[in-house]
Amino acid sequence: MLLIIGGGIGGMTTALAVAQAGFDVHVVEQSPEFSEIGAGIQLAPNAMRALERLGLLPALEEVCVQPRNLIFMHADTGRRLGTVDFGPSFRRHFGQSYTVLHRGDLLEVLLAACRTHPRITLETAREVVGVREDGEVRFADGTRLVGDGVVGADGLWSRTRALVSNDRPHCSQYVAYRGALPVTVDVEDELIWIGPGKHLVQYPIRQGQLYNQVAVFRSHRYRADTDQWGTPDELIEAFATSCAPVRTAIEAIPTDRRWPMYDRLPIDNWTKGRVTLLGDAAHPMLQYLAQGACQAIEDAECLARHLAKQDGDITEAFAGYQADRIGRTAQVQTIARAWGDVWHADDLIVPALRDRVLSRRLADDYTDLNWLYQGGP
């Protein structure tokens, strides 16, 4: 039996993939119920191909949106910088669509599939307090479970990761505010407004019924010893010089909760004994490539494939999984950081070069996306 710690998108995808490969799976989740916090999520073709192989496309199509274009705009001037055509040529090139949806809807699709699979056991309200390399997991209520193997899919603040690394999450000093509004007009495109120290992402979800918005900015009040930074007044201040459409959007974003932006540097090992890591527990990344969930989904399919290849031999399967995944995820982590720097540059040279490159590329030129969207399982 494979024991998975964490019932989010990565944990649930792993459970389904491993069960479909013919192995028993037990998922434990700390929260009282399986749920996702936040609103929208973006799934690029590398993730969508994996979800298609898991048989989830019909259910996803009932709740998702496939944007017509991705349009880069300048947050301050309002100038259109560049476009990526997500239409038929994109789907032919990458073998799948670019898809956006509510995080909760994605988890519900995964959860429904897991609940009906006879090899999957799901438990909530199971707080993990200790993990041993022999596969024993201890819980806050004093009980224990032992798996043939353990997968730590317990996110950015993973307790499982302490087995293999003593590093800590790194705060980027950026913070996000997000929320979704009812749609009052037809919206077919995803917009990304970029500017010095800030950006705004907008796209429709729930089959076009809601409009997801995420505003991100660098806090100049950041201090590591307090959470009194990235406040709602800073949000307004950060976007004060933006063009009218952006300022109007910022006014509509809920400010009752904020999300500080963290990642970790890549590490060269995820595995110890019968325990390995997956998703944000293994390779948390900044959101600028929209690949956090996508890479977790790739992880899930890769792990299931190695379990099947090694006929359930945990040691060999974990070694093969890690060897296949660690280089690719490190590359995505590293480039995500750099891409954020390009978006948010506030000097004289980088923004000018960025805007020139974006404006000159053709909408159906996918050369720069091949490494990311054609990669994976």
Give φ, ψ of 180 to 5 degrees: -125, 140
pLDDT at 184: 77
Q: Which of 292, 291, 318, 315 is nearest to 304 (CA)?
A: 318
Question: Binning pLDDT at 50, 70 and 90, where does residue 227 land?
Answer: confident
CA dihedral 371, 374, 375, 376 (to 10 degrees): 160
Residue 253 is encoded by which pair of tokens? Answer: 């974003």
Residue 377 has pLDDT above 70, yes or no: no
Beta carbons of 192 and 199 less than 8 angstroms apart: yes
Query: What are the pLDDT digits (tens) for 236-294?
Result: 999 999 999 999 999 999 999 999 999 999 999 999 999 999 999 999 999 999 999 99
Q: What percent of the chain has pLDDT over 70?
A: 100
Enumerate the active-site residues: 203
Spacing of C-alpha 148 from chain mean position: 28
pLDDT at 37: 80
Residue 35 has pLDDT above 90, yes or no: no
Query: What are the pLDDT digits (tens) for 311-357?
Result: 989 999 999 999 999 999 999 999 999 999 999 999 989 999 999 99
Least trusted range by pLDDT, from 35-44, 64-73, 82-91, 313-322? 35-44
pLDDT at 46: 98
- Mean pLDDT for 16-45 is 94
Question: Binning pLDDT at 50, 70 and 90, where does residue 295 land?
Answer: very high
Query: What are the pLDDT digits (tens) for 196-214?
Result: 999 999 999 999 999 999 9
Q: Which of 211, 319, 341, 214 is nearest to 269 (CA)?
A: 319
Residue 38 has pLDDT above 70, yes or no: yes
pLDDT at 375: 82
Under DSSP, is residue 21 helix (H, G, I), strand (E, B) or coil? Answer: coil
pLDDT at 36: 83
Query: What are the pLDDT digits (tens) for 52-74?
Result: 999 999 999 999 999 999 999 99
Per DSSP (E only), the strands in 117-209 are 120-123, 128-131, 136-139, 144-146, 149-152, 170-182, 190-195, 198-205
Residue 177 has pLDDT above 70, yes or no: yes
Least trusted range by pLDDT, from 117-121, 174-178, 216-220, 346-350? 346-350
Spacing of C-alpha 283 from chain mean position: 11
Query: What are the pLDDT digits (tens) for 130-170?
Result: 999 999 999 999 999 999 999 999 999 999 999 999 999 99
pLDDT at 376: 72
- Mean pLDDT for 172-183 is 95
Residue 26 has pLDDT above 90, yes or no: yes
- Mean pLDDT for 86-100 is 98
Report the chain's mean pLDDT, rounded to a whole number: 96
Q: Which residues lie below 8 Å from residue 105, measured CB to CB, with a gap of 6+? A: 63, 64, 205, 206
Residue 182: other Cβ atoms inside 10 A: 8
Question: For the domain bounded by 2-168+263-373, which CATH number is listed?
Answer: 3.50.50.60
Residue 173 is encoded by which pair of tokens? Answer: 């000093």
Establish how many alpha carbons lie within 13 A of residue 174's alpha carbon, considering only the half-sphere containing its beta carbon: 22
Q: Which residues lie below 8 Å from residue 15, measured CB to CB, with a gap of 6+? A: 4, 25, 27, 114, 117, 120, 122
Burial of 312 (0-12, 13-18, 19+ CB in 10 A): middle
- Mean pLDDT for 26-33 is 96
Altogether, the residues listed in the chain come to a count of: 377
- Mean pLDDT for 211-230 is 94
Residue 125 has pLDDT above 80, yes or no: yes
Residue 299 has pLDDT above 80, yes or no: yes
Q: What percent of the chain has pLDDT over 90?
A: 94
Under DSSP, is residue 11 helix (H, G, I), strand (E, B) or coil? Answer: helix
Residue 153 CA to residue 14 CA, distance in Å, equals: 9
Residue 132 CA to residue 72 CA, distance in Å, equals: 47
pLDDT at 186: 82
Under DSSP, is residue 141 helix (H, G, I), strand (E, B) or coil? Answer: coil
Give φ, ψ of 199 to 5 degrees: -160, 160
Residue 28 is encoded by which pair of tokens? Answer: 């434990």
